[in-house]
Amino acid sequence: MFRKKQAVLSYDRENQKPVIKCSICNGEQVAGFKDLRTGKFEEIMFIRDKADLQAFMERYALAEVEKEY
C-alpha cells in the first residue's frame, strides 16, 4: 500500500557520467556510469522498460541520461 521512499545514492560527478548502453542488435539496455578518464563502464542495472529507467534516474537524482550505442 505505502511504498518506502528510496534513499538517493551518489556517484563521482567529477569523474563519472550516467549512461544508458544500448545494443544495436537486440535492443538490450543497461544503465550505469562511464569513467570520463578511462572510458570504463560500470553496470548498475538492466533497463527493461520506462519504469526501470525512471527508477534508475530517481535513485541517483538524475534529470537526464545520455544513450550510447
pLDDT digits (tens, 9 = 90+) for 31-67: 999 999 999 999 999 999 999 999 999 999 999 999 9
7: pLDDT confidence band, cut at 50, 70 and 90?
confident
Q: Is residue 39 part of a domain?
A: yes
**Joined grid coordinates for residue 13:** 560527478
Q: Count structural domains, the chain.
A: 1
Q: Is residue 1 part of a domain?
A: no
1: pLDDT confidence band, cut at 50, 70 and 90?
low
Domain, as residue range, for 47: 23-68
Q: Is residue 10 part of a domain?
A: no
Q: Is residue 28 part of a domain?
A: yes
Q: Is residue 11 part of a domain?
A: no
Residue 4 has pLDDT above 80, yes or no: no
Q: Is residue 42 part of a domain?
A: yes
Handedness of CA 38, 68, 64, 52 (dihedral sign): negative
pTM over 0.85: no
Whether the Cβ atoms of residue 69 and residue 24 lie closer than 8 Å to each other: yes
Q: Is residue 40 part of a domain?
A: yes
